[in-house]
A and B are shown apart, each in its own frame.
Chain A
Amino acid sequence: MRRLWIGLTVAVFSFLLIIPVIRIAMGAFDAGWSGFAQGLARPETLHALYMTGLIVVIVTVVNTLFGVMLSLYLVRASWLGKRLKQLLNSIVDLPFAVSPVIGGLMIVLLLGPETALGALFNKAGVDIVYALPGMIIATLFVTFPLIVREVMPVLQEIGSAQEEAAATLGASAWTTFWRVTWPSIRWCVVYGVVLTVARAMGEFGAVLVVSGNILFKTQTATTLVYQDVENFNLTAANSIALVLAAGSVTLLLLMEWAKSRREVH
């Protein structure tokens, strides 16, 4: 009986995770190394990977900064009312509850070219929707809770006594943050960053709706895979998917390392 369960678990695990990855790797190399290299060397692939990389970097930087700040305010700020804090706290989880496609749609409805706001930006020479800014906003929306949800519980757990002690010893808020608070939360932030990078790299739905998937303009790695599959260009699709999968595995390893450090401190 026990063996059956173990066997079943292994079967489900390999069916869901391992076999697809092997299948992707095989698909990528079904025309040999040259097929894989060709699929990746196409100018549209390079542009799409560049777009994905750019979005990941900007989103991670912005989310880390504001995620840590929002966590600090939600846990520590005495000038925020209790009710307001609770409200903000639940709003943080909104992206988890809302489908990314709907998140993207909200941005189109709010900032699209036909809307007042969108027209205003358009006049100023900045396109939001069907351009990079919209894709960044969509990815920000989707990844926003990740860092806040990692950092907030730790801030709550360590309490404010150490920070108050630093204040009575004459340390400014800035010094207190860097020398007292940051060392306690840094591995959680690293963990949150890894999650954010992984999510931003793989985001599809929200970005597809907002970007319009325009070749050489707003196409990302994931939307290019989608288009290649549609066009029966399977070798190229598999090649790009393999690169993304490799990135994810690297991140997974990083995540494990961050987790172990988080437990030490």
Chain B
Amino acid sequence: MHIEVRGLNKKFGDFQAVTDVNFEIEKGQLIGLLGPSGGGKTSILRMLAGLETVDEGDIVFHGKRVNELPPQERGIGFVFQNYALFKHMTVEENIAFGLEVKKWTKPQIQERVAELVELTGLKGFEKRYPHQLSGGQRQRVAFARALAPEPQLLLLDEPFAAIDAKIRHELRSWLREMIDRLGITSIFVTHDQDEAIEVADQIMIINKGRLEQKGTPWEIYKNPQSPFVAGFIGESTIVEDVSSLRGFGGTGELSGTKALIRPEYVEIGKASDFELLSATEKGTVRHIHFRGSEWLVEVEIGATKLVTYRSLEKEILQPGNEVRVLIHRAYLFNDTDSWVMENRLKEDPMPVHI
């Protein structure tokens, strides 16, 4: 289903939950609504479902305005945060509910339920009640129930929030695979950036009720359009005074400009590790932390503290070691503007061609 949202606004009492949100979603895409808790993601999702009224703006499905349509007539499937399974019905009855309501015939319902039980790997659990299932199984039932009436749009509210970390990983890839196979337009809400980056075709970053940026995970990572997005996606350190960093001195004329530097922008090593030593700076290792598959190194350059990751294959550093630090790029921003800047000294000013 093609979806368009124009000028969406929503207030709860005095609290402005959603402010002037506009976006468009192509058919068959999997969209992640990402942002901090209480930022308005769930409100947007509930308005799309018709569970919340729209104060201002239009929601358009397939070129038709659906603002006034009740949830029953929107042709959507909704997976709730705590699944909201009908607790007095078995797995089978839960999945069949939407079909019975739509007056499908008995054999049709049986066939569809069997199909979904197979698809979601719930075979053998058909006669169980929700309280007899594990978290992951409940999630699958909620998914099967939402999909049963063949909706054109699937909405998922924090679908993995209530599941423990290990199973969450499995379920994520399972969901991605399932949605690819069905080709159904889907939108899910999450506050976990890894989840959004791993699963979504496109991410919409929502903060304080505003849509900060929409794009593929790579685009958002590479070209954040606001300091909030830059800080929210990935890890980063904020440096107050950019001009103090080697290779970025030219920005000194822009007073009040701050820099956001990700660990992966920073490279450390011995002097012999770098081709262009002039672009690097002297630093001291302050702390090192083992992170399972790599080292997290805190390094200090003058008064500035940066963090970076270092491969386990390389020589192990100790706190107090003197190292050379190369900052490849920084994300700069001030009150009015923001841009990405490469280290100016990385390009050899006088290349020697042989």
How would residues 160 to 189 of chain A score, 1 for a CB under 8 Å from any chain B CB and 0 otherwise? 011011111111100100011001100000
B82 touches A167 (CB 8 A): no
Q: Chain A residues with Cβ under 8 A from B136's Cβ?
A: none
B70 touches A167 (CB 8 A): yes
Asked whether A165 and B80 contact (CB < 8 A) given A170-B149, A180-B86, the answer is: yes
Kindly state the separation between the CA atoms of A165 and B102 in the bound complex, as whole angstroms: 14
Q: Chain B residues with Cβ under 8 A from A170's Cβ?
A: 72-73, 98, 101-102, 149
B229 to chain A: closest CB distance in Å? Answer: 31
Kindly state the separation between the CA atoms of A183 and B50 in the bound complex, as whole angstroms: 25
How would residues 140 to 170 of chain A score, 1 for a CB under 8 Å from any chain B CB and 0 otherwise? 0000000000000000000001101111111
Q: Chain B residues with Cβ under 8 A from A171's Cβ?
A: 72, 97-98, 101
User: 6 A-B pairs, CB-CB below 8 angstroms?
Assistant: A162-B86, A167-B71, A168-B78, A169-B146, A170-B102, A171-B98
Interface centre among B70, B73, B86 (most CB of A within 10 A): B86
Chain B residues close to A by CB (< 8 Å): 49-51, 70-74, 76-78, 80, 82, 84-88, 97-98, 101-102, 145-146, 148-149
Q: Chain A residues with Cβ under 8 A from B148's Cβ?
A: 169
Q: Which residue of B lies closest to A175 (CB)?
A: B101
B88 touches A184 (CB 8 A): yes
Q: Chain A residues with Cβ under 8 A from B71's Cβ?
A: 164, 167-168
A265 within 8 A of B: yes
Q: Chain A residues with Cβ under 8 A from B72's Cβ?
A: 167-168, 170-172
Q: Chain B residues with Cβ under 8 A from A184's Cβ?
A: 87-88
A184 to chain B: closest CB distance in Å? Answer: 7
Kindly state the separation between the CA atoms of A170 and B72 in the bound complex, as whole angstroms: 4
Q: Chain A residues with Cβ under 8 A from B73's Cβ?
A: 170
Q: Chain A residues with Cβ under 8 A from B49's Cβ?
A: 168
Q: Chain A residues with Cβ under 8 A from B82's Cβ?
A: 161
Q: Which residue of B lies closest to A168 (CB)?
A: B78
B149 touches A161 (CB 8 A): no
4 closest residue pairs by CB, A with B: A169-B98, A161-B84, A168-B78, A165-B84
Q: Chain A residues with Cβ under 8 A from B146's Cβ?
A: 168-169
B154 to chain A: closest CB distance in Å? Answer: 10
Q: Chain A residues with Cβ under 8 A from B145's Cβ?
A: 165, 169
Kindly state the separation between the CA atoms of A170 and B102 in the bound complex, as whole angstroms: 7
A229 to chain B: closest CB distance in Å? Answer: 49
A46 to chain B: closest CB distance in Å? Answer: 44
A169 touches B51 (CB 8 A): no
Interface centre among A165, A166, A168, A183 (most CB of B within 10 A): A168
Instruction: Known pairs A162-B87, A168-B71; list 16 more (Cβ under 8 Å).
Output: A161-B84, A162-B85, A164-B51, A164-B71, A164-B80, A165-B78, A165-B80, A165-B145, A166-B97, A168-B50, A168-B51, A169-B101, A169-B145, A170-B73, A179-B86, A184-B88
Interface centre among A172, A180, A265 (most CB of B within 10 A): A180
Q: Chain A residues with Cβ under 8 A from B74's Cβ?
A: 168
Query: Could you say which of A164, A168, A183 contacts B88, with CB atoms under 8 Å apart?
Result: A183
Q: Chain B residues with Cβ under 8 A from A162's Cβ?
A: 84-87
Kindly state the separation between the CA atoms of A166 and B89 in the bound complex, as whole angstroms: 13
Q: Which residue of A lies closest to B84 (CB)?
A: A161
Q: Chain B residues with Cβ under 8 A from A167's Cβ?
A: 51, 70-72
B1 to chain A: closest CB distance in Å? Answer: 15
Kindly state the separation between the CA atoms of A113 and B306 in the bound complex, as whole angstroms: 89
A81 to chain B: closest CB distance in Å? Answer: 11
Q: Chain A residues with Cβ under 8 A from B78's Cβ?
A: 164-165, 168
Kindly state the separation between the CA atoms of A210 and B68 in the bound complex, as whole angstroms: 50
B93 to chain A: closest CB distance in Å? Answer: 10
Q: Which residue of B lies closest to A161 (CB)?
A: B84
